[in-house]
């Protein structure tokens, strides 16, 4: 198209990374599903599958997408785009490999709607996370807080953590990751505010 300048290299690179994040999570989730299937539901493989499917992980990719593209208008597009790309990639690759049925995409239309709607504010949180003020610190705490809260709200710890329950172990991993991530955010937030 004449008269339209190509986007700067940094913008193209950011959007390429958004696409890589979206496709990467889809492939990781499919590999986790295949491993759990191949290992006849081995508990460790099932823990990885639960973690790959965790809502906080999928929401976190929308926040990351917003952070990658930096600006609020782009972040409002990147959040839903990365979620939709992940879901479409997951179901299409799953159908091509026989891991999911061809009807998977149509059967899970609700997840596409959820990714489109929730992706907008999550992408904007990612853009806010670049700020160096208290609002930026709060935005950076969204994903760690989600990782801590998800297993608690969903009752995963009642799955017998000490007995090796899959949901309980996955819940502990998410909580530990969220606490470590939150501590890093708070520590860096305190250091940068001085």
Per-residue pLDDT of the chain (194 residues; tens, 9 = 90+): 455 555 789 889 999 999 999 999 999 999 999 988 888 878 888 999 999 999 999 999 999 999 999 999 999 999 999 999 999 999 999 999 998 888 888 888 999 999 999 999 999 999 999 999 999 999 999 999 999 999 999 989 876 655 558 899 999 999 999 999 999 999 887 655 44
Residues with Cβ < 8 Å from 24, sequence gap 6 or more?
none
Residue recorded with tokens 């992408």: 123
The crossing angle, in degrees rounded to 10, of helices 9-38 and 43-52 is 150
The pLDDT of residue 12: 92
Q: In whole angstroms, what is the distance from residue 126 CA to residue 69 CA?
A: 9
Q: What is the CA radius of gyration of the chain?
A: 18
Closest CA to 59 of 131, 135, 185, 144: 144
Query: 172, exposed or middle or buried, with CB in 10 Å at 0-12, 13-18, 19+?
Result: middle
Q: Residue 189, CB half-sphere, CA atoms under 13 Å: how many? A: 18
Closest CA to 179 of 142, 145, 151: 145
Q: What is the mean pLDDT of the chain?
A: 90
**Pair of tokens at residue 46:** 């099932």
């Amino acid at each position: 198209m004449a008269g339209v300048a190509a986007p700067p290299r940094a913008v193209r690179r950011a959007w390429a990374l958004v696409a890589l994040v979206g496709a990467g999570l889809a492939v990781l989730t499919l590999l986790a599903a295949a491993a759990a299937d191949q290992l006849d539901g081995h508990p460790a493989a099932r823990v990885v599958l639960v973690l790959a499917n965790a809502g906080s992980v999928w929401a976190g990719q929308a926040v990351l997408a917003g952070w990658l593209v930096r600006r609020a208008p782009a972040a409002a597009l990147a959040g839903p785009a990365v979620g939709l790309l992940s879901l479409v990639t997951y179901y299409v690759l799953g159908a091509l490999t026989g891991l999911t049925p061809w009807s998977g995409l149509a059967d899970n239309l609700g997840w596409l709607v959820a990714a489109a709607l929730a992706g907008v504010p999550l992408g904007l949180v990612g853009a806010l996370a670049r700020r160096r003020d208290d609002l930026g610190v709060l935005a950076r705490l969204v994903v760690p807080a989600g990782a801590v809260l998800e297993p608690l709200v969903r009752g995963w710890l009642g799955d017998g953590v000490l007995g090796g329950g899959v949901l309980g172990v996955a819940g502990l991993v998410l909580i530990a990751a969220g606490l470590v991530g939150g501590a890093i955010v708070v520590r860096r937030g305190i250091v940068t505010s001085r």
